[in-house]
Structure 1
Amino acid sequence: MNWFGVMPAMTTAFDEKLGVDHTFMRHHAEWMVANGCSGLVMLGSLGEAATLTSGEKVSILKNIVATAGKTVPIVSAISALSTADAISLAKSAADAGCSGLMVLPPYVYRGDWREMKAHIAAIFKATPLSCMLYNNPVAYGTDFVPEQIVELAGEHENFAAVKESSTDVRRVSAIRALLGDRLKIFVGVDDAIVEGIAMGATGWVAGLVNAFPAESVALFNLALEGKSKEAFDLYKWFLPLLRMDTVPKFIQLIKYVQEQVGVGSARVRPPRLEITGDELAETKRIVLQALESRPTIHEVAFAHAAR
């Protein structure tokens, strides 16, 4: 498992009856890999995992492993209400051929460190796969601070990376100050990627990459190579879109952007609903403005018509 580069948190495509559209997801995965993405993260928050059945989750993993697993690593997010269900999904992901896991705190329950450590440790122990810890206190209310991450790293060899989504890039430098290069650090919020790389992050679990993979990979590479002016010029164009990744309706917004650029539909599963009214008008304005000033970056064309 190579924890490096731009790894999309893939959206889950739905057909007109809100069933999983596996055919579209195959084409979407192939397209993002063809445009330079170094791995694919399935069943995350952006993938609407909380609305998927266990059977749907396993089917999605098997589909994407068969599609792209020989080319790039496929990572399964592990999220559940209970520790037992999380462990079951971790084992299913390994059986499906995934290369790594992105481990989340439990849904709903916001426990203390003793409880959260026990939950994460149980998943790490239950799998031979390389694991990334997903720290997102904004969305999940559980904050894995650097000192706690050090504790986990000292006890679990397969704990290999952190997706840092606290929105505070100082966390990247704090983790590195305590652990050096023991863990790979990924930025998990789109509008902090350049700053995160400057602090030592070497990966990006990205959202808007679902619609703009070529631009996302180019931005990551420019920032990693230290080409500050070129990176900022591209970042400045991209930021109004990237900020859509950091608000409560990020799933609806990103799927709408996909639809507008012809690589998906805006369909979401309830309780989410597609955006309407002023929200829709403002999002459409941002997308049209971005497309009118879109930089010239080589992109492999999307080969499957959006439905």
Structure 2
Amino acid sequence: MNKPQWTGVLPAATTQFNDDESLNIDATLRHLDAMLDAGVHGMIMLGTVGENCSLDPQEKIDVLKATVEHVGGRVPVLSGVAEYTTKMACRTAQAAQDAGVDGLMVLPAMVYRSDARETVYHYRTVASATDLPIMCYNNPISYRVDISPETFAELADEPKLVAIKESSEDVRRITDLKNVVGDRYTLLCGVDDLVLESLLLGAEGWVSGLVNAFPAENRLIWDLAMAGRYQEAVEVYRWYTPLLHLDTHPKLVQYIKLAVAECGYGTEKLRAPRLPIVGEERERVLGIIRRAIATRPNAQTYAGALAS
């Protein structure tokens, strides 16, 4: 299987809800439009930020079908696959393929901490369930299973595994992967506040959470880096970093949805047990978001960087 062009800025998109916690697909699609208008290069639905594990199976399919139809091939659409068992992950992958997505972002099985042999079995089995290319999502901080470079070398003979979203929060892992598996996989940074470092070391894409609220700024950093304008990229990155730190907190979904609401792209409505943050925590996070809005970089200062 040829590697698909999963490079550039790929949002891990939010799922929007009504006040009664029912799906608000229209609002979800309007939010996608704001990111598409800013020039993102793909769309990942039903990831962590999309509250995958808070949706029932039919709701997931409803979101995917609506997204595929709405995006209409403008960019690739991927679906997260995060299930408790391998069999459930296969069933979800098959349903996502039937919904028309272009690829899958597959996590190790949830809750149980699999060892390397079990993790390899999970990915091989899920890969056999569909014809779709797969981005492997390595996030040992949140999900407790660390897929090592050596494990990815063992999986390298499975052609449907084409990309790695690296979210170990250790930027050294990019170099370790390059040294062990070379260019076998497309490497994508999955940690917002390590993106510029990751791009310098060889990552080819950025799966982002804060892009949901600041899509133009994500695209600006990407374009500056791709143009080799690193000093300017660093300037924007330093402005952005207090916001990007929100992506690495256990409450990243609450924080990102609050930023989305503050920027006028949706609401902060969540599904319980997640609740909107309150008190000192809310004021602190709002302060970070509002300071960023008040001091956001003027794209005209970086004329030419935003050329597609």
Report whether the alignment pairs 1:68 with 2:87.
no
Report whether the alignment pairs 1:219 with 2:227.
no
Report the Cα offset of residue 5 of structure 1: 0.7
Report whether the alignment pairs 1:7 with 2:43.
no
The residue type paired with residue 56 of structure 2 is: T
Contact 1:135/1:162 (CA < 8 Å) preserved in 2? yes
The residue that corresponds to 1:101 in the other structure is 104
Contact 1:8/1:205 (CA < 8 Å) preserved in 2? yes
Q: What's the CA shift string for 1:252-273, capped at 9, x where partnerless? A: 0000011111111111111111
- RMSD between aligned alpha carbons? 1.0
Report whether the alignment pairs 1:23 with 2:23.
no
Report whether the alignment pairs 1:277 with 2:279.
yes
Q: What's the CA shift string for 1:32-84, capped at 9, x where partnerless? A: 11211011001111111111000000000001000114101000011101111
Q: Choose from 259, 263, 266 the match for 2:265.
A: 263
Contact 1:5/1:220 (CA < 8 Å) preserved in 2? yes
Report the Cα offset of residue 226 of structure 1: 2.1
Report the Cα offset of residue 224 of structure 1: 2.7
Runs in 1 of length 4+ with deviation above 6 angstroms?
none
The residue that corresponds to 1:301 in the other structure is none
Report whether the alignment pairs 1:136 with 2:139.
yes
Structure-1 separation of matches of 2:17 and 2:211: 18
Q: Choose from 184, 193, 196 the match for 2:195.
A: 193
Contact 2:82/2:110 (CA < 8 Å) preserved in 1? yes
Matched residue count: 297
The residue type paired with residue 253 of structure 2 is: I
Contact 1:30/1:67 (CA < 8 Å) preserved in 2? no
Partner SS state of residue 217, structure 1: helix
Report whether the alignment pairs 1:253 with 2:222.
no
Report the Cα offset of residue 102 of structure 1: 0.5
Structure-1 separation of matches of 2:183 and 2:223: 20
The residue that corresponds to 2:85 in the other structure is 82
Partner SS state of residue 108, structure 2: coil
The residue that corresponds to 1:286 in the other structure is 288
- When normalised by structure 2's length, the TM-score is 0.95
The residue that corresponds to 2:62 in the other structure is 59
Give structure 2 stretches of 5+ with no counterpart: 301-308
Contact 2:152/2:181 (CA < 8 Å) preserved in 1? no
The residue that corresponds to 1:302 in the other structure is none
Q: 1:220-235, aligned counterparts within 5 Å?
A: 220-235=222-237
Report the Cα offset of residue 187 of structure 1: 0.3
The residue that corresponds to 2:117 in the other structure is 114
- When normalised by structure 1's length, the TM-score is 0.95
Structure-2 separation of matches of 1:255 and 1:127: 32
Q: What's the CA shift string for 1:196-244, capped at 9, x where partnerless? A: 0000001011000001111001111212332111000000110011100
Give structure 1 stretches of 5+ with no counterpart: 299-307
The residue that corresponds to 2:242 in the other structure is 240
Structure-1 separation of matches of 2:290 and 2:134: 38
Structure-1 separation of matches of 2:242 and 2:150: 34
Report whether the alignment pairs 1:43 with 2:46.
yes
Structure-1 separation of matches of 2:227 and 2:168: 24
Contact 2:163/2:188 (CA < 8 Å) preserved in 1? yes
Structure-2 separation of matches of 1:131 and 1:222: 28
The residue type paired with residue 65 of structure 1 is: V
Structure-2 separation of matches of 1:140 and 1:221: 31
